[in-house]
Amino acid sequence: MKFIFLFGSLLMASHFQAQIRGVVQGADSLQTKPLKNVKITLLRAGTTVYSNEDGTFEILLGKQSPDTLLFSAKGYRSDRMVVTRSDRFAALNVVLVSGQLVREIVVSGGKDAHGISKMKTLHVEELTSAEFRKAACCNLSESFETNATVDVSMADAVSGAKKIQLLGLDAVYTQLQFENIPFLRGLESAFGMSAIPGTWLESIQITKGTGSVVNGYESMAGLVNLEFKKPKDMPLMSLNAYQNRFGRTELNLQSGQRLSERWHMGLFASGAAVYGTFDHNHDGFRDQALSNTFSLLQRFSYQAPRMEAQLGLQAYTDDKTGGQMSFSKQNPVGYGMALQSQHISMFSKTGFFGKKPGQSLGVIANVKFQDLNGFYGVRNFTGKEKRLYLNAIYDDIIGNADHKIKAGASFLGLQIQQFATQPNGAMVVGNTRTELVPGVFTEYTYSGNRLSAVIGARYDQHNIAGAQFSPRAHLKYALTPQLDLRATGGRAWRLPNYVADNLSLLASSKAWITSPTLLPEISWNVGASLVQGFSFKKRKGSLSLDAYHTRFSQQLVADRDTISSLVVFKNLSNNSVATVVQAEFAYEVVRGLDLRLAYKFQDVRALYNGKLQNQVLLPRQRFFTNLAYQTRNRRWEYDLTYSRYSAVRLPHHGMGSPWALLNAQVTRSWKKTELYVGGENLLNFTQQHPIMGVDNPFGSDFDATEIWAPIMGWNVYFGLRYTFK
């Protein structure tokens, strides 16, 4: 009843103030840098704010629209620009020219759907809500379909679970966060992404290599941070409905309300179902699992001059059923799969601001409860997880804003149970363990004219893995105003959850041979990138080249090559490496038409069957093309994404063939409504015989885990987005 009351109060809200965000920079003959204390005034509303240390600002647009923003800073020529309520989705980039120069002031505003942050020392690639609108983007795993950095693949042909990979490594080696709170860890890592709708997201930041020590010790391949839509920026009502030809239906809702001058509330709700039963390859198995997923997120934000806070509650339930066409929960005949997941978590983020500029104290708290139970054929799985996370961060300035320091302490308390049965249904693998991990960290940031650096270290005392020290360093040097060189290096580690991390491998008759000793996985990552911005025929573009190398001093691998009837889990020592090189080109060909081209090479090797060889089911090469066009009146949007993948190595028997994926979407926009229609896998490529041993699924040859391409043909979908401001 409480949620019904809150939802009803959202519908009765009658006014929404748009918030304009952006960054102000100052340019002279040598450099462009962020400007602090720039006076920013809305002339009609009479509202004034000042830019922060990093040049960023936020200002509420008044009731009268359009209005004019006036930018004033000592030593720079003032400028102004007209803004409307539609600009609340924009990321304004304002450049004020030094008063000593006579050239024209350049003021630009717009929303970049995709790009690498020029202002950050780390290599951070940002995807905004404009990028998510280019595809169906129904859940988190599908939010990367128009992105070349993150790969999305299917884990097994029975559950249909999707997984992401960064730098050639599975998602468990990437630290996922929800606004700097650890997210989708432990039991959630297998299926949790399907419970997060992409329409809830405001942006995603992808950091390659080891991230900041402030965020934790687990970012071995990189860090993916999810920014959900903020209550004070949300419309009164936003609705997204989706349907595809395979019987998948989704309904996503977001609603925001201003409760008082300082309190705002946001409500997110989602219901998704897969009810279509298809067997296009006539192997007797469903091509996709039936499912019902319900998700809810309610969050509150509080802002005062000396304090701000965010509170939230997230819950979801996910129920999947797959297997042979004859199987159902009501009639369990033949080979079946069923998984039930229940999740509830609570979080809080509190910030206190000191009297001096740049001085603050932030406290993050998160409590999570997770249940995951089910079976693949005769192989049962059960898991329970309780997690407590605390992180306290102190920020300050040393002398001036060029020198910043962060220091703090964190604590992780974890109790996890994970058990699975072998193919004979008797022997059990898994464990129950409790983790207690207090840690301390410090990080120094230098921001110079051309050189910036972030150097940090953290120390964690793990009750199982012992003492762990994680040093990290990130450098950025502006070779020219348009060319940035970045370098990074550091150490990261994690304690593996070998059952939950490899849950999809239960969809086979292969028995598991596990190690009696649970050792931490430890890696060192080094990398570098060059990002060149340019202008050609008055159109902006960029060219980026990066390379990252991850070397594991310890890693737990699932060896599927040694014996065909077994999955052997081995603790390797200095016998697994991953090297990934990526080049990407972006350019606005004509007004409204954006082109992105990318090439990625992945060399990921480990000791399998006594030989250092390529990881199975991972393409070594990927070619990527994205074309996006928006008409001048912004009524029509067209998007086309093409990816071509090289052949993959299969365990024991040869190679999978190269294949290509083509997706497209058209969107028509009105004032409050958007209609979109799209197609996926339009080339209709499917993997032949994705499941081995279908004639005897309880026999020794059954295996539904060697998936390297789509198992379903072309798909058409359509949807509706409606916003009531």
Tens of pLDDT along 532-542? Answer: 999 998 889 99
Contact status, residue 50 vs residue 37, Cβ threshold 8 Å: yes
561 versus 20: the higher-pLDDT residue is: 561
- The answer to whether the CB of 622 falls within 8 A of the CB of 641 is no
Domain boundary among 90, 111, 132: 111
**In the predicted model, is pLDDT for residue 355 greater than 50?**
yes
Encode pLDDT of 125-176 as tens digits.
Answer: 999 888 888 887 678 888 898 899 999 999 999 998 889 999 999 999 999 9
Please check whether residues 143 and 253 belong to one and the same domain: yes
The CATH number of whichever domain residue 32 belongs to comes to: 2.60.40.1120
Q: Are residues 100 and 169 in the same domain?
A: no
Give 6's strand partners: none
For the CA atoms of 191, 195, 196, 197, what is the dihedral angle to 10 degrees? Answer: 130
What is the rounded CA–CA span in Å between residue 668 and residue 30? 44
pLDDT at 108 over 60: no
> What is the C-alpha to C-alpha distance for residues 302 and 69, in angstroms, rounded to an integer?
26
SS3 state at 685: coil
Question: Rounded mean pLDDT of the chain?
Answer: 90
**Between residues 85 and 146, which one has the greater pLDDT?**
146
pLDDT exceeds cutoff 80 at 87: no
What lies within 8 Å, CB to CB, of 208 at 6+ separation is 123, 125, 149, 166, 167, 221, 222, 488, 527, 529, 546, 548
When mean pLDDT is compared across 50-59, 412-421, 634-643, the lowest value belongs to 50-59
Looking at residue 175, what is its pLDDT? 94
Of 64, 91, 111, the one marking the end of a domain is: 111
Is residue 105 domain-shared with residue 126, that is, in the same domain? no
Q: What is the pLDDT of residue 88?
A: 60
Token pair, residue 31, equals 């450099």
**Can you give the pLDDT at residue 12?**
36
pLDDT of residue 86: 61
Q: What is the pLDDT of residues 284-338, one digit of tens each?
A: 999 999 999 999 999 999 999 889 999 999 999 999 999 999 999 888 899 999 9
Which is more confidently placed, 22 or 499?
499
| pLDDT (tens digit per residue) in 514-525 | 888 889 999 999
Alpha-carbon torsion (78, 81, 85, 89), positive or negative: negative
Are 388 and 499 within one domain? yes
Q: What is the DSSP letter of 140?
A: G
pLDDT of residue 176: 94
pLDDT at 90 (0 to 100): 60
Reply yes or no on whether the pLDDT at 121 is more than 80: yes
| Predicted pLDDT of residue 7 | 35
Residue whose token pair is 């009502």: 237
Is there a single domain that holds both residue 105 and residue 128? no
Give yes or no for a contact between 344 and 315, defined as CB atoms under 8 angstroms apart. Answer: yes
CA-CA distances (angstroms) from residue 638 to 281, 678, 680? Answer: 32, 10, 14
Res. 103 pLDDT band, cuts 50 70 90? very low
pLDDT number for residue 262: 93
Examine the fold and report which residue of 111, 142, 175 is the final residue of a domain before the chain moves on. 111
State in Å, rounded, how far the first CA of the chain is from the last one: 25
pLDDT tens sequence across 207-257:
999 999 999 999 999 999 999 999 988 999 999 999 999 999 999 999 999
Same domain? 129 vs 91: no
pLDDT digits (tens, 9 = 90+) for 466-497: 999 999 999 999 999 899 999 999 999 999 99
Indicate whether 438 and 566 sit together in one domain. yes
Mean pLDDT of the 31-41 span:
84
**In this predicted model, which residue has the larger pLDDT, 75 or 663?**
663
Q: 450 and 384, same structural domain?
A: yes
CA–CA–CA angle 387, 421, 175 (5° rounding): 35
- Which residues, 6 or more positions from 400, have their beta carbon under 8 angstroms from its beta carbon? none
Side-chain half-sphere CA neighbours of 406 within 13 A: 19
The stretches of 502-590 forming alpha helices (DSSP H) are: none
pLDDT value at position 18?
63
Residue 305 neighbours by CB distance under 10 Å: 7
Q: Which residue has the tokens 């043909």?
A: 713
Q: What is the mean pLDDT of residues 569-598?
A: 96
Does 49 share its domain with 164? no
Same domain? For 186 and 89 the reply is: no
Closest listed residue to residue 286, CA positions, set 245, 231, 239, 326: 326
Closest CA to 213 of 459, 565, 390: 459
Q: Report whether pLDDT(101) > 70.
A: no
- CA nearest neighbour of 361 among 312, 408, 304: 408
Tell me the pairing of strands 56-60 and 19-27.
Answer: antiparallel
**Residues 592 and 500 grouped into a single domain:** yes
Average pLDDT over residues 14-28: 69
Write the CB contacts of 518 (distance below 8 Å, at least 6 apart in sequence): 431, 433, 464, 495, 496, 498
Among 182-186, 372-376, 540-544, where is mean pLDDT lowest?
182-186
Of 497, 527, 709, 524, which Cα lies nearest the Cα of 618? 709
Q: Rounded to 5 degrees, what angle do the CA atoms 286, 291, 296 make? A: 160
Instruction: Supply the pLDDT for residue 518.
Output: 85
pLDDT of residue 20: 81
CB atoms within 10 A of CB 432: 10
Whether the link from the prior residue into 66 is cis, omega within 30° of 0, is yes
CB 264 within 8 A of CB 301: yes
| Longest Cα–Cα distance in the chain | 82
In the 8-state DSSP scheme, what is residue 36? Answer: S
Residue 97 banded pLDDT, cuts 50, 70, 90:
confident
Q: How far apart are CA 534 and CA 484, in angstroms?
A: 12
Say yes or no to pLDDT of 16 above 50. no
Q: Which residues contact 157 (CB under 8 A, 6 or more apart)?
A: 285, 507, 690, 691, 704, 705, 707, 711
Q: Output the domain CATH number for residue 671.
A: 2.40.170.20
Show the domain range for 678.
115-724
pLDDT tops 90 at residue 53 = no
Q: How many CB atoms lie within 10 A of CB 518?
A: 16
pLDDT at 83 > cutoff 90: no
The span from the CA of 136 to the CA of 695, in Å, is: 35
pLDDT at 375 exceeding the cut of 80: yes
pLDDT at 105: 42
Mean pLDDT, residues 49-56? 84
* Confidence grade of residue 89 (pLDDT, cut at 50, 70, 90): low
DSSP 151-169: EEEES-TTT--EEEEETTE
Query: What is the share, in percent, of the chain residues with pLDDT greater than 90?
Result: 70
Query: pLDDT tens for residues 188-214?
Result: 988 888 899 999 999 999 999 999 999
Distances (CA, A) of 129 to 114, 228, 241, 298, 663: 9, 10, 16, 20, 18
Query: Measured on CA atoms in the order 97, 99, 103, 104, is the torsion positive or negative?
Result: positive
How many structural domains does the chain have? 2
Secondary structure class of 692 (helix, strand, coil): strand
CA distance readout (Å), 691 to 153, 191, 707: 16, 21, 8
d(CA 558, CA 566): 10
Q: Which helix (H) or strand (E) holds 315?
A: strand 307-323
Q: Are residues 121 and 107 in the same domain?
A: no
pLDDT > 90? residue 23: no
Confidence of residue 416 (pLDDT cuts 50, 70, 90): very high
